Structure 1
Amino acid sequence: MEQSTDRPLVSLTVAGIARRDDEYLIVEERIRGQRYLNQPAGHVEPGETLIEAVIREVREETRFAFAPTDLLGLYHDNPNQGRRVLRVAIIGKIGEAPDDAPLDEGILAAHFMSRVALERSDLPHRSPFVTAAIRDFERGRRHPLDLLHSIR
């Protein structure tokens, strides 16, 4: 089968999944003028491991320190048109209090929200990955972090 050269490449992203009591760490972000809810998430930078990327993204978007504990899962979106995305969702623990540095560009606020509050929010979710990850977390899905191999 011949590969099309105009097909967009996969975008590799990470997301930090953190829960405190019965609430999840969620960011409110603005993209092209629209507000969305999302987990702290973003692209893996060149030279970065998946673990390094999720620690950085959670810190930049929420100011919380993040200590990865488990792999939640891989989430793939392959639309007929547009960018294909592979999201690596990593569960972790957050520190007690965030530092007071500014949040990453486009991030309006970090919130703690229950699953119910997130589902009932008037704000749309950035992608279906948001609710899929929370459902998997609540189902007890956990995989060891040593499944993630980085070759430099």
Structure 2
Amino acid sequence: MTWTPHATVAVVVEDERGRFLMVEERSGGRIVFNQPAGHVEEDEAILDAVKREALEETGWVIEPEHFLGLYTYKAPTNGVTYYRFCFIGRARQQVTDELDTGIIAAHWLTLDDIRKLGDKLRSPLVIKSIEDYRKGRRYPLDVIADPQT
């Protein structure tokens, strides 16, 4: 078997009330919670993937403002290694209630609410990225050298 890394994007979005945009979804027969996130498609710019995934999963137009970091995670359920390009974004407008297949709902949750979800979080990266965001970690978007943008 050939090892193939999986490139994904995610976005941490906090509203003016201190709540975070989260996605409730079905994954591997379970209902889990995650930031808006997903795979980068072939020939897709990273920032375009962030906007697309957020819109498809939440119905919100999201504007990426900062790069938060690159996170690596090997999922114990399938052994796949994911490289998660995580961003900080601002919610601009909710434009649809139609959500991607497998998405149950989008929610605005406090950090306490998210912590209480425990093993219902899709991965430990959900909390880790919010903690990094709250510590003030921010990088300019131009650290992503994308020839398409």
Q: Do both proteins adopt the same fold according to a TM-score greater than 0.5, normalized to the shorter chain?
A: yes
Q: Where do 1:91-106 residues align within 5 Å?
A: 91-96=88-93, 98-106=94-102
Q: Which 4+ residue blocks in structure 1 deviate beyond 2 angstroms?
A: 78-81
Match of 2:8 in 1: 13
Match of 1:82 in 2: 79
Paired residues of 2:67 and 2:140 also in contact (CA < 8 A)? yes
Q: Where do 1:1-150 residues align within 5 Å?
A: 6-20=1-15, 21-78=17-74, 82-96=79-93, 98-121=94-117, 124-150=120-146
Q: Secondary structure at the match of 1:95?
A: strand
Cα deviation, residue 122, structure 1: 5.8
Q: Secondary structure at the match of 1:45?
A: coil
Distance 2:41 2:81 in 1: 17
Closer/same/farther in 2, CA of residues 52 and 44 from structure 1, 3 Å limit: same
Cα deviation, residue 78, structure 1: 4.0
Distance 2:144 2:97 in 1: 30
Paired residues of 2:22 and 2:107 also in contact (CA < 8 A)? yes
Which stretch has the larger CA shift, 81-90 or 129-138? Answer: 81-90
Uncovered stretches (5+) of structure 1, i.e. residues with no partner: 1-5
Distance 2:103 2:75 in 1: 26
What are the Cα deviations for residues 28-79 of structure 1, in whole angstroms up to 9, with x where unaligned? 0011321000000000001111100000000000000011100011101246
Distance 2:85 2:91 in 1: 18
Q: What letter is aligned with 1:131?
A: I
Paired residues of 1:29 and 1:109 also in contact (CA < 8 A)? yes
Distance 1:26 1:88 in 2: 17
Distance 1:94 1:133 in 2: 17
Q: What letter is aligned with 1:44?
A: V
What are the Cα deviations for residues 2-44 of structure 1, in whole angstroms up to 9, with x where unaligned? xxxx352110000011000211000000113210000000000
> Structure 1 length normalisation: TM-score?
0.89
